[in-house]
Each structure stands twice: as structure tokens, then as C-alpha cells.
């Protein structure tokens, strides 16, 4: 009896029984409006995304930085560089210079990093704006 009055009051006299169930469910929800809302459920398992600290660039302090002048070019971006102290080394182009296609020609002034383990080889890290720039 109570169900029929809800159907008629809502204007669903000819609707199926499922509509009546929906109306009853909404009526029940209206009575529970003052009830406290439970916190959202957390998913089980610890496989969540781990937060990492932002990466900081690693500065290698064990290299020697010197200034030199390119004397000769070789294939595969290798150069013979005469350092300001008079020594001649074989230096290759750093990856950043290759990436941005910085052209280095004989006579250019360059910054070279040397490893303390092999003082005859180095890496060209910067092309100075000098004579041939």
C-alpha cells in the first residue's frame, strides 16, 4: 500500500516495478542525509607509484679544465688540440656539442676537460668565441 502511494505521488502509475524500487531508494537516501559520510576506501597493496627526489646534475670535480686551440681535425669528431701550456692532446667532441651540431675548425679556441688518469686525451666541452667564430 505504501509502495503504491509513492508511485502515484511521483507520477509513475503505469511504470514497472523497478521504477518504484528506484523511488524507494531515493526516499531512503533522503532520510540518511544527516548521517556521517565514511572516508573513501583505499586500495589494498603497496604497489603505488614511489615518489623520488628530483635529479640534480652530477658535477665531476676530478677533471682538469684547460683552454687550448684546435690544430688538426680527424674523422669521427676527434681533434688535435694544443693546450695553453704547450702540450698537445687528442680530444673528442662532447655529446652536447654533437647534439647541437657545433662546428669546430682548426684555429678555434676551445675548453677541454682532461681526465687525471690519461692526460693525453680529453673532451671538448665549449667552443670559445674567438678568432674564427
With a cut of 70, say whether residue 97 has pLDDT above it. Answer: yes
pTM attached to this predicted model = 0.54
Name 124's bridge partners. Answer: 93, 112
> Do 70 and 112 have their domain in common?
yes
**Cα-based angle 113, 115, 118 (whole degrees, multiple of 5):** 125
With a cut of 70, say whether residue 60 has pLDDT above it. Answer: no
The answer as to whether 77 is a domain residue is yes
Higher pLDDT among residues 78 and 54, named by residue: 78
Task: Tell me the average pLDDT across 65-69.
Answer: 96
Tens digits of per-residue pLDDT, 12-56?
A: 544 455 555 555 665 566 556 667 777 777 767 666 667 777 777
- What is the domain-level CATH number for residue 78? 2.40.50.140
The total number of structural domains in the chain stands at: 2
- Return the SS3 of 7: helix
The answer as to whether 21 is a domain residue is yes
Amino acid at each position: 500500500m505504501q509502495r503504491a502511494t509513492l508511485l502515484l505521488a511521483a507520477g509513475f502509475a503505469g511504470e514497472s516495478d523497478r521504477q518504484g524500487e528506484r523511488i524507494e531508494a531515493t526516499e531512503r537516501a533522503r532520510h540518511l542525509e544527516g548521517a556521517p559520510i565514511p572516508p573513501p576506501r583505499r586500495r589494498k597493496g603497496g604497489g603505488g607509484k614511489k615518489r623520488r627526489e628530483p635529479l640534480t646534475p652530477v658535477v665531476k670535480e676530478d677533471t682538469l679544465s684547460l683552454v687550448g686551440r684546435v690544430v688538426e681535425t680527424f674523422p669521427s669528431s676527434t681533434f688535435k688540440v694544443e693546450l695553453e701550456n704547450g702540450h698537445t692532446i687528442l680530444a673528442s667532441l662532447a655529446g652536447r656539442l654533437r647534439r647541437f651540431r657545433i662546428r669546430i675548425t682548426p684555429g678555434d679556441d676551445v675548453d677541454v676537460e682532461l681526465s687525471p688518469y690519461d692526460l693525453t686525451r680529453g673532451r671538448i666541452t665549449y667552443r670559445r668565441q674567438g678568432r674564427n667564430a
